[in-house]
Structure 1
Amino acid sequence: MCDWELNQVSIVGIIRRFVQSMTSIQYLVDDMTGPPLNVKLWVNMENCGLINFASPGTYVKVLGSLRNYNGQRSLLAMNIRCVKDLNEITSHMLEVVQAHMQLFGKVFDVNMNTTAALPLDGRSHHEGIIPDGLSTIQSEVLNVIQKFSAHEYGISFQDLRTKLNYLSFLDIRTTLAFLINEGFIFPTIDEQHFKSPQQ
């Protein structure tokens, strides 16, 4: 991918067919990014009875090593499991989009069309845009703290709770601990006032 060798990968797709032998199971998994991928899972004779075989039409998540032999891609699976919660498919798609944004330094819209370029460090320095890798709650808390970082002591915990009254006390406290540990914010005059060094 862009002259980079990929080795350990995670894919989510639909099983199109499978063939079982004495020592392995061969799956044809379609992750909708190209032709279906050949996936091989070696099985141990003693554990063969413990393996649940996924049937065609089932969504699975596969972790394994990518192989390329004579121009044919295949995946040597370490783990295959059925996807029981369909939110996992959406989550995987979002991870793929985020990986593309980080690898290519571009921002994509919902149809994967390029909308703007990011600086090479992967972070935007425009006001209101949050660094990569933060959850929605972490982004919201950081955004409010950044807005008040111009004040001498930053923002108090009580004012932060007032501004983010739709978040629970525990969510705000947990997020503050994370943001401090990651260096996004720091306490000022006491443990109840916070600023961001990015202002």
Structure 2
Amino acid sequence: MDYSNNYTTTSYGAQGGANGGGFMPGSQSNGDNASTTKRGYGKDTLRPVTIKQLLDAHHPHPDAEYFMIDSSETTQVTFVGQIRNISLQTTNVTYKLDDGTGTIEVKVWIDAEAFGGEEGEGGGGGGKGKPVEQGYARVWGRLKAFNNKRHVGANIIRPIQDYNEVQYHLLEATAVHLHFSRGPPEQLDSAKGQGNGAAAAAANGGAAQQQQGGAGGQLLPAGTSMAARKVYQAIRSTPQSNEGLHVQQIATAAGLEMAEVLRGGDELMNLGLIFTTVDEHTWALLEING
């Protein structure tokens, strides 16, 4: 799953699609000037978001016509919410959506020439039914601001057919947020953790493999403290009975103060890597088979 600036998306079931965040029916909505539209095609993305993220988004500079979310330029967005109100105007249908993190208005412009008058009642439903009040819907569009009030100019809005999509969307929006705010969660952080573990092991006797390796070859998680790594290495490399090692033996083997050993042991227990045996101060590795 690649959430980089080249983030590509599925169409989420929308007719007309959004392959890579490109043109979708209705994107010629009122109020978009030609320069903004021309600029956006080259860098368009489609990002899953929550309404709170839309309300918290900011312009990178006063003249910008796009918004930043998690320090990343955001053009087209998609989100899921419950429709609290529908207002039919002469030129648009306005929906008020709530996703539990906030509320925002969504405007679908009525274009009788492009859609043969079908959207006047359906409100951009994309041929999959009509959005109704208190029902759930997915929206695709662009965040806009007018008179200091934000709304989404929607390309498509369609009712939710499978309510699992509501939870799925929130999970995906969270995953994308974590990617941009903390970096890739698996490959980069894991590699960094492995590199840190190897360097620490080399500085403490050259036992890199022992310090990094966990039960059954499991790597210690990125962010594990140095004290916990030393405690883990001491338990793993010191000869012992099936009762494990007492904290005093661990302190001697690891070259740590008792307080550091206890802190490191608590951390490893919370990670599920060691357990107590004959008493609370005697620890052994939790071996994971398979």
TM-score normalised per structure 2: 0.36
C-alpha displacement at 1:3, in angstroms? 4.5
1:85 corresponds to 2:162: yes
Q: Identify the residue that residue 15 of structure 1 maps to in structure 2.
A: 83
Q: Distance in 2 between matches of 1:50 and 1:17?
A: 15
Q: Identify the residue that residue 97 of structure 2 maps to in structure 1.
A: 29
Q: Aligned partner of 2:104: which letter?
A: L
Q: Identify the residue that residue 63 of structure 1 maps to in structure 2.
A: 140
C-alpha displacement at 1:37, in angstroms? 0.6
Q: Give identity over the alignment, percent.
A: 29
Instruction: Work out which of the residue numbers 190, 199, 213 in structure 2 matches 1:124.
Output: 190
C-alpha displacement at 1:70, in angstroms? 3.3
Indicate if the aligned counterparts of 2:85 and 2:95 stay in contact, CA closer than 8 A: yes
C-alpha distance 122-101 of structure 1, shift in aligned 2 (>3 A): farther
C-alpha distance 50-26 of structure 1, shift in aligned 2 (>3 A): closer
More helix by share: 2
Indicate if the aligned counterparts of 1:102 and 1:122 stay in contact, CA closer than 8 A: no
C-alpha displacement at 1:2, in angstroms? 3.9
Local SS of the residue matching 1:103: helix
Q: Distance in 2 between matches of 1:106 and 1:12?
A: 25
Local SS of the residue matching 1:124: helix
C-alpha distance 94-48 of structure 1, shift in aligned 2 (>3 A): closer
Q: Identify the residue that residue 101 of structure 1 maps to in structure 2.
A: 178
Q: Distance in 1 between matches of 2:153 and 2:118?
A: 18
C-alpha distance 12-43 of structure 1, shift in aligned 2 (>3 A): same
Moved >6 Å (runs of 4+): none
Q: Identify the residue that residue 44 of structure 1 maps to in structure 2.
A: 111
C-alpha distance 2-48 of structure 1, shift in aligned 2 (>3 A): closer
* Structure 2 spans left out of the alignment, 5+ residues: 1-68, 123-128, 195-216, 218-290
C-alpha displacement at 1:90, in angstroms? 1.3
More strand by share: 1
TM-score normalised per structure 1: 0.51
C-alpha displacement at 1:66, in angstroms? 0.6
C-alpha displacement at 1:54, in angstroms? 1.7
Q: CA RMSD in A?
A: 2.7
Indicate if the aligned counterparts of 2:110 and 2:120 stay in contact, CA closer than 8 A: no
Bigger mean CA offset, 70-79 vs 47-56: 47-56
Indicate if the aligned counterparts of 2:86 and 2:95 stay in contact, CA closer than 8 A: yes
C-alpha distance 73-122 of structure 1, shift in aligned 2 (>3 A): farther
